[in-house]
Chains A and B, each alone.
Chain A
Amino acid sequence: MNCEICGRRTESKLCILHEEARKNLLKNYEAWRRSMNVSWEEYLREIQQNPFAGIWAKEVAHHLLVSGSANEQEGLAKGTETNK
């Protein structure tokens, strides 16, 4: 199986590098939600534009937005409160 983002060979959907970025995205969302009151999708868009975000974090954010998994997966788990 290949990484959905970079095509590296991997055993899951994302390679270890993009998986690490995805975990960081999940971990830091709570801080963003608390301080900026943003939804998961808004958060991903912010990360895409942020000059301090790493390239893999931006790629994962873009991938989640484009693939539509932004709301379906992580969004459900993390962003429900904000979306109310």
Chain B
Amino acid sequence: MQGKTVLILCEKPTAAQRVAKALDERGDPQKQETERVPHYVASRDGKRLVVVAALGHLYTVAPSVKDRNVFPVFEFQWVPRYEVERDARETQTWIEVISELSRKAQECILATDYDIEGATLGYTILRYACGGKEKEAKRMKFSTLTTGELEESYRQLSDHIEFSTVEAGICRHFLDAMYGINLSRAMTVAAKQWSGRYAVLSTGRVQGPTLKFLVSRERRISSFVPTPYWGIRAKVEINGSLYEVEYERDVIESRDEAQAVVNECKGKKGKVAEIEVRKFLQNPLAPFDLGALQAEAYSLFKYTPRRTADIAERLYLEALISYPRTSSQKLPPTIGYRAILESLSREPRYEKLSAELLRRRELIPREGEKHDPAHPSIYPTGSLPERTLSEPERRLWDLVVRRFMAVFSEPAVKQGVKASITVNGHHFFIRGRQTLKEGWIFFYRPFMRSEEVVLPPLEEGQEVEFKEVLREDKFTKPPPRYNPSSLLRKMENEGIGTKATRAGIIDTLYNRGYVSGERAVVSELGLDVIDILNKHCPEVISVDFTRDLEESMERIQNGNEKIESVVNKAVNRLTPVLEELKKHEDTVGQDLSDAVRKARMQQRNVGDCPVCGTGKLMILFSRRTGKRFIGCTSFFKGICKAAYPLPQKGSVKPAQRSCRTCGLPMIQFKVQGKRPWTFCINPSCPSKEGRR
């Protein structure tokens, strides 16, 4: 006969399965399904444990006024997601099943992710689906889904859930809804009033300032005027080999001056004047926090921050790495360095690397500055994959494993050599760089870019011949565009958004059509939205304003501020902004409508017309047949009759690139459920010969 029934609430089905397996005394929990909602029954210490998962958030914050044309609204409440989101219908069954299981349970344990979102979603389920069990529920805290840690976490249950974190989470949801819904409604309503057409326009508490960063960079790039300057490229011969040397000045402002340097040095013999040898230590990189992992994965594999976060989440759910949504760069000894390395040594490719570290008497990690009270930095748990990992998963796991190993190693010893060479009164430098002792690089080698330049033996006074001296015509360059990774870093440095939300906000900017491409190019719509907000309500795109609210939420989490005061502060700031927007609804509506119209035109713009050279090729619809085709804008002026056929099914959009074979623009064609296909619009393009 079993005793109490305990309901354990997890965040995701995979986590629920792992928790059940870890806690069941026989390691074999019984899987059951109610209305296709899986849950697991385990037994431990005479108790019946029912482990069930949510599907992420089951409740969301919604305004009391449902009419999308009404703003401002400051009354918000938690409602089941299925009531307000069209694609969240299955959450209804989930809520009903959890309610039913909770009624039969005498105890509740929250085992969602130990962070602000995990606490908030757990709280809403305990409160609304479980009939107010949030105050009596206990809490499991863990950073990995390994059996050992889950068992330990169950033994050391917290008496209650983390209420201050929940309060901060609730505050974040309310503020995001208040800003997002009111501002987006104000913009959408204004545009609709003016043009009579509906368009999805949005901004938000973090979205606005993020778009502002992009717009400000776009303006610098698009209005950039380069200035000319000159440089010198030279090569010297030493012992029969050619080596590149740097001229003493990076920038020469006149062409004549640069040419004079070339004339005075070309074919001449220079003398090695001074040799400077410098040894230095290169410390291991700090353990990964989420931002650093996203940056490294982007730099090495070109994975977007969102993709990296998703892969890391999968690795966490497979118990291969610790909880990835962390901002910590610390590795506390309690995680058991030696046990992890011993476990990893079972994998052949880590055998030698682990043995190298395990040989040491003491393992001391080199940690970074950043600290997260909830979780340590990202580290491998030591568990090995139970299935074949996909290539991206394998790469990311390898990256985490090797970084973990590297932090226990000693610094690399490097040597830099800088020799100056004098010729005809001009100074050149030759530089070498060599690794004397690998240290941590031994572990992280696959992810290091080699910078080794080994110089031949040099002596002061040695003569070298300048074999090649060229004048280089150069121009100053505009600042680089943001990419998803550098934008994420910028948001992190500016203190806006959270580690859990930043990647999603960047995705929203792309989905709204404000930004496109890997090198984030801001669209006309993005430029206009920021221009309009800047004109009528600069506060809502102010970084300081957003950062101030982020700090307030942090104070709530630390118990130093109350949710009511922060919400009131936000309402007081938002009210005049919305009044101002309402007052200028006509102008705002006209500006936004123009921007939307231009954006729609832009989406149909395929490229320059190759026939007349003056018009633009656009995706058009025939008035007579209703069929779509590509035609030139000069057609209506009677100048050009260029036209190209298009498939009549599926969606088409300009691919923003030209055909390599014939140079005409290309189109991306997509049918639902199939991979997109990019092709040249020219039916007679030689590249299509094989297909005809």
Binding site for B on A (CB under 8 A): 8-9, 16-18, 20-21, 24-25, 27-28, 31-32, 34-36, 47, 50, 52-57
Contact = CB atoms under 8 A, between A and B. Distances in A.
B613 interface: no
CB-based closest 10 A-B pairs: A21-B223, A54-B222, A54-B224, A52-B226, A24-B225, A31-B227, A28-B225, A20-B223, A56-B222, A56-B223
A72 B476 CA distance: 28
**By CB atoms of chain B within 10 A, which of A18, A31, A54 has the most?**
A54
Nearest to A22: B223
A75 to B, nearest CB: 16
Interface in B477-528: 477-478, 527-528
Given A17-B219, A35-B254, 9 more contacts: A16-B531, A20-B223, A25-B225, A28-B226, A31-B228, A35-B227, A35-B255, A53-B224, A57-B223
Interface in B206-246: 219, 221-229
A64 to B, nearest CB: 13
Interface string B524-540: 00011001000000000
Contacts of B221: 54
A60 B607 CA distance: 20
Given A34-B253, A34-B254, A35-B253, A50 B223 contact: no
8 contacts: A17-B222, A17-B223, A24-B225, A27-B225, A31-B253, A47-B225, A53-B225, A55-B222
Given A17-B219, A20-B219, A52-B476, A57 B224 contact: yes
B80 to A, nearest CB: 44
Contacts of B225: 21, 24-25, 27-28, 47, 53-54, 57
A54 B221 CA distance: 6
B630 to A, nearest CB: 23
A45 to B, nearest CB: 13
Interface of B is mostly: mixed
Interface of B: 219, 221-229, 253-255, 475-478, 527-528, 531, 590-591, 594
Nearest to A43: B225
A66 B527 CA distance: 26
Contacts of B255: 35-36
A57 B527 CA distance: 16
A53 B226 contact: yes
A51 B528 CA distance: 25
B227 A28 contact: yes
A24 B228 contact: no
A8 B478 CA distance: 24
B228 A36 contact: yes
Interface of A is mostly: helix
Given A17-B219, A52-B478, A32 B224 contact: no
A16 B253 CA distance: 31
**By CB atoms of chain B within 10 A, which of A9, A20, A31, A47 has the most?**
A31
A9 B535 CA distance: 13
Contacts of B219: 17, 20
Given A9-B594, A35-B255, A57 B222 contact: yes
Given A28-B227, A34-B253, A36-B255, A50 B475 contact: yes
A21 to B, nearest CB: 4
A73 B67 CA distance: 54
Contacts of B229: 35
A47 B222 CA distance: 12
A35 B253 CA distance: 6
B527 A17 contact: yes
B591 to A, nearest CB: 7
Contacts of A8: 528, 594
Nearest to A26: B225
A21 B220 CA distance: 9
Contact of A9 (B222, B254, B476, B591): B591
A25 B527 CA distance: 21
A38 B528 CA distance: 36
B222 to A, nearest CB: 4
Contact of A54 (B254, B478, B531, B591): B478
**By CB atoms of chain B within 10 A, which of A16, A25, A52 has the most?**
A52
Given A50-B475, A52-B477, A35 B223 contact: no
A68 to B, nearest CB: 19
**By CB atoms of chain A within 10 A, which of B226, B229, B254, B476 has the most?**
B226
**By CB atoms of chain B within 10 A, which of A16, A21, A35 has the most?**
A35
Nearest to B524: A6
A21 B253 contact: no
A28 B476 CA distance: 11
A19 B475 CA distance: 22
